[in-house]
Amino acid sequence: MLDVMLSKLLKDIQEKKNFTPFLEVSDEHSGYTISVGESLGDELVGGTFQKEGFSTLEKYVTVEEVVRLLKKGSKGGISESGDSLSIMLTVNRFEYDLHFFFPEKEGRWIEQNFSRLRPERD
């Protein structure tokens, strides 16, 4: 079920060339955090997909970055219960993380947070 959702998300993002497919795997709390400065601790911007939309995300992150994360990122941070996981990748002085969780009452995987942050050390 997770692999099917990730494959569909990747395909839809590639076809639409935007971030709107995240709406299909989000809830009212799903969002993003992005480092826009030159080093750790510099300015962070963020928002939620359903409330603020994608304009800030699109300003700082490209579709290609998210596609690369979905294609080449490593699945880690899988919880013992198997109801959450992160896809992580470090490229060009950024650490990318896409976190999903599976609430049983929803019966589907939901994107919790996307982040692109400067690493703690270079």
pLDDT in tens, the chain (122 residues): 888 999 999 999 999 999 999 999 999 999 999 998 766 566 899 999 999 999 999 999 999 999 999 999 999 878 888 789 999 999 988 999 999 999 988 899 999 999 999 876 65
pLDDT for residue 82? 79
Tokens matching residue 11: 């395909």
The CATH architecture one would assign to domain 2-117 is: Roll (3.10)
Q: Residue 74: in which H helix or E strand, if any?
A: strand 74-76
